[in-house]
A and B are shown apart, each in its own frame.
Chain A
Amino acid sequence: MDMIGGTGSFRLKMHSATGLGDSAAYWEGRVALEGDVARLRGGDLDALSTLLTRYQNRLYRYLLRLVREPAEAEDLFQQTWLRVAEKIRQFDPQRNFEAWLFTLARNLAIDHLRRIRPESLDQPAGDPTGETAAARLPSHERPPIEGILARERAGRLGTALETLPLTQREVLTLRFEEEMKLEEIAEVLDAPLSTVKTRLRRALERLRMTLETQYPGESWQ
């Protein structure tokens, strides 16, 4: 998995917890997160800073997948953290902080899209330049040729992903990029598990169909 920053290492540990050491790291991560959230609820500014650092890349990526415009995603990123500061006292510590954070971001993004581009909520859209936000991003720590090829494939996959409707884009990014469990996705989307499964299946089928139509014979490995 291609991860960047401190957030990545935490997620990587969380989801590859196979051995005793990994499991310990996972629980350490969880305890640290709960501690930070508790301190934030008490008004600790350093805890806010720690959480922002931990989630900055993931939250921004999620918002970018939803709105597709970097400038809008950046604006929503700032609004989300303002909302966190305003609402943290209302957050129930028994709930999953991550799901709560992504729900706040999602609500802001959907309100924004409803106001600015209401048609984008249900219509698939493509980038007129053919270049996606993902395609403009650097690939990390790969040899040059392999890196170029991988970036090109990722760019095509990113382009195809952006053509999906919002409901399908978000379920794919939550599952494969954020690596959320089905239950967590259902909490963020405020939808039943069966609906999430159906959306996930349809999104994958549609993505594959788009790729096979646009780039026949391409490998996504």
Chain B
Amino acid sequence: MNGHEKIRELLTLLAAGVLEPREEKQVLDHLRTCEACSAELEDWKLLAGGLRRLPTPQPRAVVVERARAQAQIRLSEEFEHRWNRSVIVGLIVFAWVLTLLSWPLVRLLTGGLLGLLVPGFSHAWIVFGAFTTSVWLAGGAAAVLLSMQHRRERRLA
């Protein structure tokens, strides 16, 4: 491919306005001496101008308003879910901290300060552990059921 042919290939991109400055200068230098390429560039510019002036279709107002309403509802839901998740995580952390703190506290109140220094499982510890576990399991099951119901409601909506 000779220089002239190479430049001809670049004319479309010049009309589209996407040439690098170096390439653009190269093409413009060539155009000063080549009438055929200048005429060709004019044709490409006409085509590019026609494309730029194509009428802009508009969506129907009812479609825009529906999209706006639906997107706003979805955005609210997303942020509500995020807030709910944050609250649940906060509550879980708080509950665990409370649970873990309550064990030595109960031990302290029932067995005195020295009781803390005596590890090992007593009857009270086992009952306390079983009670905590069952409460957590029940809470977890309730959370799962609530989440399933919420999802079902969202699907129906």
Residues in chain A within 8 A of chain B (CB atoms): 1-5, 8, 40, 43, 45, 48-49, 52, 56-58, 60-61, 64, 70, 73-74, 77-78, 81-82, 84-86, 88-89, 133-134, 137-140, 150-151, 153-154, 157-158, 161, 172, 175-177, 179, 182, 197, 200-201, 204-205, 207-208, 211, 219-221
Contacts and interface: CB of A to CB of B under 8 A. Distances in A.
Main secondary structure of the interface of B (DSSP, over half): helix
Contacts of A161: 51, 54
A204 B15 contact: yes
B19 to A, nearest CB: 9
A78 B75 contact: no
Contacts of A208: 43-44, 47
A86 B78 contact: yes
Contacts of B12: 200-201, 204-205
B13 A197 contact: yes
Contact of A52 (B52, B53, B71, B74): B71
Interface of B: 9, 12-13, 15-16, 18, 43-44, 46-60, 63-64, 66-68, 70-72, 74-76, 78-79, 82
A67 to B, nearest CB: 12
A5 B59 CA distance: 12
B16 to A, nearest CB: 6
A197 B15 CA distance: 12
Given A8-B56, A201-B13, 17 more contacts: A1-B53, A2-B56, A52-B64, A57-B59, A60-B58, A81-B68, A81-B71, A82-B67, A88-B75, A133-B57, A151-B55, A161-B54, A175-B16, A176-B48, A177-B54, A204-B16, A208-B47
Given A177-B52, A220-B47, A85 B78 contact: yes
Nearest to A211: B47
A200 B16 contact: yes
Most chain A beta-carbon neighbours within 10 Å: one of B43, B50, B52: B50
